[in-house]
Amino acid sequence: MCGRFELVSGQRVFTRFRVANPDAALLAMSGIDPHDIRPTQRVLLLTTDRVLTTAKWGLVPSWAKDTKSASKLINARREGIADKPSFRKPLRFQRCIIPASAYFEWQLQSDDKRKVKYRVAPAADDDLFGFAGLYDTWRDRQDRSDPDGATLTTCTIITGAAPAGLAWLHGRTPMALLPEEEERWLDPDLTDPDEIVDLLKPSPADQLDVRAA
């Protein structure tokens, strides 16, 4: 799964993902430690036409009555994703890329019941993950003072089975897109669920740097 990650490479995001609006202010996520990004905080995400924006981490479907699901839908399982009510529409029309320099997992040590924190990053120096994500916009229709309702944009990171060589750490891993497949992932003309899901593959373990944090 992915419950914590970091993004500490600063403006490297702009060049790595060919961002169309390289505004340094977007990198200043007020009040958020870039070394420890947590669910329900705001994260950077890349949408169609490579526009960089922010969203709250934890998907709230547009049809939800309230925002209580945000803390539950931080990840979307690849398996069966095209049929899940919360993800079915975003998978076809509201895909995004969530940049990260690393993510974290905790493993319980059987000898003394300690949890050891591990950092998982691309093996190549200064590289970044481009996590496959989905986003949605929720509107508060209960706010009678605003006829249009307040809006909230939220997102989720797609996960799948961990590759051989990484399952010892955790059975699931974020789906990090290959750079050559990112353009296809963001293509608004791609709406076939089967083709979309085919883009979701785990990073090979030999392309990752895994070490105790």
- In this prediction, residue 26 has a pLDDT band, given cuts at 50, 70 and 90, of confident
Q: What proportion of the chain, given as a percentage, has pLDDT over 90?
A: 75
Whether the predicted model's global pTM rises above the 0.85 cut: yes
Is residue 47 packed enough to be buried (19+ CB in 10 Å), middle (13-18) or exposed (0-12)? buried
Name residue 191's amino acid: T
**Residue 143: is its pLDDT beyond 70?**
no
Can you read off the two tokens belonging to residue 98? 């969530």
With a CB cutoff of 8 Å and minimum separation 6, the contacts of 198 are none
Q: Is 105 a catalytic residue?
A: yes
Closest CA to 157 of 186, 137, 177: 177
Please identify which of the residues 2, 6, 96, 155 carries the catalytic annotation: 2
Per-residue pLDDT at 177 exceeds 90 = yes
Task: Out of 6, 96, 105, 182, pick the active-site residue.
Answer: 105
Give the contacts of 8 (CB within 8 A, at least 6 positions apart): 34, 35, 101
Residues 6+ apart with CB under 8 A from 5: 37, 100, 101, 102, 103, 104, 131, 174
- What single-letter amino acid sits at 86? S
Q: Which two tokens stand for residue 177?
A: 């897109």
- Cβ proximity of 77 and 110 under 8 Å: no
**Cα–Cα distance for residue pair 35/14, rounded to 1 Å:** 19
* pLDDT digits 0-9 by tens, 55-89: 999 999 999 988 888 788 999 999 999 999 999 99
Instruction: Report all structural domains of the chain as residue ranges with CATH numbers, in order of start.
Output: 5-16+39-212 (3.90.1680.10)
2 is catalytic: yes
- Compute the mean pLDDT over every residue in the chain, rounded to the nearest whole number: 91
Q: How many residues are recorded in the chain?
A: 213
| pLDDT single digits (tens) 122-131 | 999 889 999 9
